[in-house]
Structure 1
Amino acid sequence: MMKKLILLSLVFLTIFSCGDEVKFNTPAFQGDRENQLWRASGFTASIGANGFLTITGTKNAESVKLTVPSVIESTFIVGDIDIIEAQYIDALGTTYSTNNKPDESVSIYPELGEVTIEEIDVVNNTFTGTFRFLAFDAAGLNSVGFTNGIFFKVPLVSGEFPTNPITCFDVETEAEIALLAYEATFASDLDFVNSDAYLAACNAYSNALINQRTYCGDANGALQSIIDDLGDCQISCEIAEANVVEANSQYATATIGNYIDKCAQYLLYLQEQIDICGDVDGSIQAEIEGLNCSDTDGDSIPDVFEDFNGNGDLEDDDIDSDGVPNYLDDDDDGDGVLTQYESKDENGNPMDTDGDGDVDYLDNDDDGDGILTIDENADPNGDGNSDDALDTDGDGVPDYLQPN
């Protein structure tokens, strides 16, 4: 604290270029404007509803306004981030702002300045600190610079001190959390990188980095470099291709019970690959058009599994010889029990009750007792659902599935 007081005393006793000796016994706001002393006749501080602090000095029709995003003792960089701004309005009403970038004919580099809040007196509601900046007009061709700027015990005239003002530590912590969430979307143990989850987490991370840059500064540009590398937060072509490889692997090993889902999944990632990587030779689109993810008759057996002779023609497969090909027949074996209600395991794959090699939905005598299923009262109400099947001995196993 003593070191800070000594430093402030030395600053406040500095001799400015105009030759005036500066002695601050009362509130003040001044600085060198283009090497000439500019001293405000009026000065105020205000805190907005968003927690931003604005310190303003006025001299006749001229004014200088300094805006920073948090009511804390810290140094804020101006000229790089729009919400941190130093502004000068001259006597003719022309506005010069650090948010106006210089025309390329003037400079190709951002002109950075600083606003430092050195002391916040919460008892007397005043602010003390320093500033320097170079601001441009809207065209970016003309500029006004302030150096050696000092504001001393400028009073707060509107707004209230926030209970928990945002600090650099706060936003650094938020950025670290956002990074972990972002990295989790493409962790090595995931089968797929979900593009929507990746997009959301990446944008959240990018916004957290922007906040970190705002409240902590980014002198070496490292944070901005990470933000730039994130780009539009779309997954890369390499990730899209890896998704397709995994989806194809799962599709190729799909069973009757999960085929529809695996086929749709493969289709999804193929289309995503086109959207992200393109399809110069049309091979990906051809693969899409060659997929058949359908279950036309809605019997829980995908069409591709109803081509029993394997010739690629679904029209010439008719297990029960009723004249309706299997892919259009919701009772493939003609036993009176709809295919979708025939026995399945927990994964939705057809089961073989009598162990004769024919799964129940293709077997018209499911229990192999020599009595056709249709003759064992498997569906008394005739709706195709065997939930009401006759169970003569009441043991919980319907007659059509019980050989004895």
Structure 2
Amino acid sequence: MMKKLILLSLVFLTVFSCGDEVQFNTPAFQGDRENELWRAKGFSASIDVNGFLTITGTNAVEAVKLTVPSVIESTFIVGDIDVIEAQYVDAFGTTYSTTNEPDESVSIYPELGEIVIEEIDVVNGTFTGTYRFLAFDASGLNSVGFTNGIFYKVPLISGEFPTDPITCMDVTVAADVALSAYEATYASDLEFVDSDAFAAACSAYANALTEQRTFCGDSDGSLQAIIDDLGDCQISCEIATANMEEANSQYVTATIGNYSEKCAQYLFYLQEQIEICGDVDGSIQAEIDGLDCGDTDGDGVPDAYEDFNGDGDIENDDTDADGIPNYMDNDDDGDGVLTQYEAKDEDGNPLDTDGDGDVDYLDNDDDGDTLLTINENADPNGDGNPDDALDTDGDGVPDYLQA
């Protein structure tokens, strides 16, 4: 009861402060238009399916429409975001809106106004509050200003009160959560910054900030400044370069077992670096052109490791002298066991079963017993896979690997 008395007092003070000619009605929708009283003869409120509240006042030929994005008692700033709008339609059908920016010859910055929902009477379905705004026509050259605007006990005639209307606190918390998720995508302890994850989290954060502007306002422009700083949500050149440098460090320490993976990874981050940073002197592209991540024969040994004599020419390396260079030969030592099935450790690196210094995929006598692997029934069915290799003593170790 006390709240209503205070509200009535404020409304009367507001109305009578602008002169004796301003009168108060219950219910009411009125205000000073260019310092002259404007009063609506009809007024109503509606709530759309998205929870937006619109309060409208009309007389025979003019209308004022106030729209806010949530059915809550709060102050909404007009003039800085489009979803909060004050609109005036004059007798000639010209629409003036706070979403129209003024022409630069009139003003560089739009004037900020406010719509204040002071009381929502859910039981009786009415809205009470105040408003003030400066609205421009589509050209941005002409404007209409309203001050000392009030609406009192305007009835809801369309839509329903939402059970859980969005509040400024709701969207502020959501923006904080989105910020944490965004910051996590470029945390200092990450091996690489995933550009896709970064972009997705950045975009989500920008959307959350936009929601915060919508429901909380942004009169000082600080939220919009953050949104602008996010830009197109692309990782920076500094991050792209750091990714490339980490990938390079892993590439140069790669082994046979992980070379293809690390080479492809390095190639990816080099290409991303060009995309983000550019390549003025062509040095990045030169590095890309010099990479060889391939495994021509698909034997698990990258081509970069098939240059055994180290002369830079993989065409003249032919371990089994069968006329096929190793990088094109899927059985490098010609022992009947395909290179991809020769002994490897858990990381995919070749092993040397007999300790003679030659890894098995380059050794035609894998167990060093002077019997060539191809003569120890390493692959009875001839498919190159030694899963069916002869194991004479049944000890689980095939003959070709047991001296």
Deviation at 1:213, TM superposition (A): 1.4
Instruction: State which drifts further: 212-221 or 279-288.
Output: 212-221
Query: Aligned letter for 1:248?
Result: N
2:384 match? 384
Question: Residue type matched to 2:16 in 1?
Answer: I
* 1:2-401 mapped onto 2 (5 Å cutoff): 2=2, 5-13=5-13, 14-15=15-16, 17=18, 19-24=20-25, 26-401=26-401
Q: Which amino acid letter does the alignment assign opposite residue 113 of structure 1?
A: G
Q: How far apart in 2 are the matches of 1:28 and 1:11?
A: 11
1:322 match: secondary structure: coil
Cα displacement (A) at 1:219: 2.7
Structure 1 letter corresponding to 2:205: Y
CA contact (8 A) 2:297 2:330 kept: yes
Distance in 2 between the 1:42 and 1:7 partners? 22
Distance 1:398 1:368 in 2: 13
CA deviation string 1:78-124 (max 9, x = no partner): 11101111111111110111010000000001211100100000000
The verdict on how the C-alpha distance between 1:335 and 1:352 changes in structure 2, with shifts beyond 3 A counting, is same
- Cα shift readout 1:131-157 (whole Å, capped 9, x = no counterpart): 011110001000011111100011111
SS of residue paired to 2:145: strand
CA offset digits 1:46-70 (Å, max 9, x no partner):
0000010000101112111111000
Whether the 8 Å contact between 1:31 and 1:37 is mirrored in structure 2 is: yes
Deviation at 1:354, TM superposition (A): 1.4
Aligned-partner SS, 1:309: coil
Q: Distance in 2 between matches of 1:367 and 1:266?
A: 37
TM-score, length-scaled by structure 1: 0.97
Q: Distance in 1 between matches of 2:96 and 2:261?
A: 60
Q: Which moved more, 1:118-127 or 1:338-347?
A: 338-347
Name the SS for the 2:156 alignment partner: strand
Q: How many Å separate the matches in 1 of 2:281 and 2:130?
A: 63
Q: CA deviation at 1:7?
A: 4.1
How many equivalent residue pairs?
A: 402
> For each residue in 1:191-246, what CA deviation from the matched residue of structure 2 results, as whole angstroms up to 9, or x when unmatched?
11111110000010111111111111223222122111111111111111111111
Q: CA deviation at 1:3?
A: 5.3
How far, CA to CA, are the matches of 2:381 and 2:39 in structure 1? 97
Instruction: Point out where structure 2 has 5 or more consecutive residues left out of the alignment.
Output: none
Structure 1 stretches of 5 or more lacking a match?
none
C-alpha contact 2:80 2:218 (8 A) present in aligned 1: no
8 Å CA contact 1:16, 1:37 repeated in 2: no
Provide the C-alpha distance between the structure 2 equivalents of 1:10 and 1:102, rounded to a whole number of angstroms: 32
Distance 2:327 2:180 in 1: 48
Greater than 4 Å deviation, 4+ residue runs: none
TM-score, normalised with respect to structure 2: 0.97
Judged with a 3 Å threshold, the aligned counterparts in structure 2 of structure 1 residues 133 and 43 are, in CA distance, closer, same or farther, namely same
CA distance in 2, matches of 1:162, 1:94: 33
Deviations 1:262-281 (A, max 9, x none): 11111111111111111111
Amino acid at match of 1:130: T
Aligned residues of 2:78 and 2:84 also touching (Cα < 8 A): yes
Structure-2 separation of matches of 1:110 and 1:195: 36
Query: For residues 366 and 319 of structure 2, what CA distance do their matches in structure 1 show?
Result: 15
Deviation at 1:16, TM superposition (A): 5.5
SS in structure 1 of the partner of residue 152 of structure 2: strand
Q: Distance in 2 between matches of 1:184 and 1:19?
A: 61
Paired residues of 2:22 and 2:37 also in contact (CA < 8 A): no
For residue 11 of structure 1, report the CA deviation from its aligned partner.
Answer: 2.2
The CA distance in 2 between the partners of 1:98 and 1:219, in whole Å, is 14
CA shift, 1:12, in A, is 2.6
Equivalent-residue separation in structure 2 for 1:23 and 1:166 (angstroms): 32
State how far apart, in whole Å, the 2-side matches of 1:21 and 1:86 are: 21
Secondary structure of 1:276's match? helix
Distance in 2 separating the partners of 1:8 and 1:332: 95
Q: Residue 244 of structure 1 aligns to which amino acid in structure 2? A: M
Q: Distance in 1 between matches of 2:298 and 2:246?
A: 27
Could you list the per-position Cα deviations for residues 153-194 of structure 1 after superposition, in whole angstroms to 9, with x for gaps in the alignment? 111111111111001111111111111110111111111111
The structural deviation recorded for 1:396 is: 1.9
Q: SS state of the match for residue 117, structure 1?
A: strand
Contact 1:17 1:36 in 2 (8 A): no
User: Are the aligned partners of 1:16 and 1:32 in contact in 2 as well (CA < 8 Å)?
Assistant: no
Output the amino acid matched with 1:20.
E
Q: Which amino acid aligns with 2:364?
A: N
Query: What is the CA–CA distance in structure 2 between the aligned matches of 1:150 and 1:276, rounded to whole Å?
Result: 53
RMSD: 1.2
